[in-house]
């Protein structure tokens, strides 16, 4: 992975946290963001961060801090609204890869935002295997079950309907477990 160019970093700068929670200035923001983007471009754990990028604990802590501050949501909204020639679009794939790591910290609301914005490559797995909160809400609002069956023909229809609903429900919930390599490396 190539380090961020000055133009790309300056486009990213308004969104990132320049200070720690204690108020101390963070040394080299560009190096930290390069380290985050380097690691999120792989399926490796944080402890596998190369030494030239700094301490893995420090970088992962900064990533969590940025995630809890809502950085990835802000960047996705900015990508949706900006001009196609904007420098953020050049690093959009890196942002999407970082979003895949952030989903575990941000949860279903983040998945719903990604789906609503249409950035399906930012999901942490194939879209058909990841939960779909929007589909489940539509199902809950619009589903009307027919009355209980009265004869054998209606029994078969009713059972077929229940099986279809069960398949749809499974699709709303996604799969229970996605292997790490699929979760972080699909595209």
Number of Cβ atoms within 10 Å of the Cβ of 31:
16
Q: Is the pLDDT of residue 15 over 80?
A: yes
The per-residue pLDDT for 2 is 86
Q: What percent of the chain has pLDDT over 70?
A: 90
The per-residue pLDDT for 187 is 61
Averaged pLDDT for residues 76-87: 91
The per-residue pLDDT for 138 is 67
Contacts of 177 (CB under 8 A, 6+ apart): none
pTM: 0.78
Q: What is the dihedral of CA 48, 54, 106, 74, to 10 degrees?
A: -130
The pLDDT tens digits of the residues spanning 21-52 come to: 777 777 788 999 999 999 998 888 999 999 99
The Cα–Cα gap between 111 and 120 comes to 9
Check residues 77 and 177 and name the one with the higher pLDDT. Answer: 77
pLDDT category of residue 16 using cuts at 50, 70 and 90: confident
The Cα–Cα gap between 99 and 46 comes to 15
What Å distances lie between residue 39 and 98, 161, 170, CA to CA? 9, 46, 32
The pLDDT tens digits of the residues spanning 153-180 come to: 888 888 888 888 777 767 767 777 777 7
Phi, psi of 151, deg, nearest 5? -145, 180
């Amino acid at each position: 992975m190539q380090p961020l160019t000055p133009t790309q970093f300056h486009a990213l700068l308004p969104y990132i946290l320049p200070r720690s929670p204690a108020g101390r200035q963070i040394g080299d923001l560009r190096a930290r963001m390069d380290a985050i983007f380097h690691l999120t471009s792989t399926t490796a754990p944080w402890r596998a961060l190369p030494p030239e990028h700094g301490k893995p604990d420090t970088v992962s802590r900064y990533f969590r801090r940025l995630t809890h501050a809502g950085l990835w949501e802000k960047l996705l909204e900015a990508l949706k609204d900006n001009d196609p020639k904007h420098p953020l679009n050049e690093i959009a794939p890196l942002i999407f890869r970082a979003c895949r790591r952030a989903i575990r910290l941000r949860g279903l609301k983040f998945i719903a935002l990604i789906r609503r914005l249409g950035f399906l490559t930012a999901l942490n797995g194939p879209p058909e295997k990841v939960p779909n909160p929007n589909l489940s809400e539509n199902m809950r609002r619009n589903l009307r079950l027919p009355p209980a069956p009265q004869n054998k023909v209606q029994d078969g229809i009713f059972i077929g309907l229940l099986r279809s609903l069960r398949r749809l429900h499974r699709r709303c919930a996604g799969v229970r477990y996605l292997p790490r390599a699929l979760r972080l490396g699909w595209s």
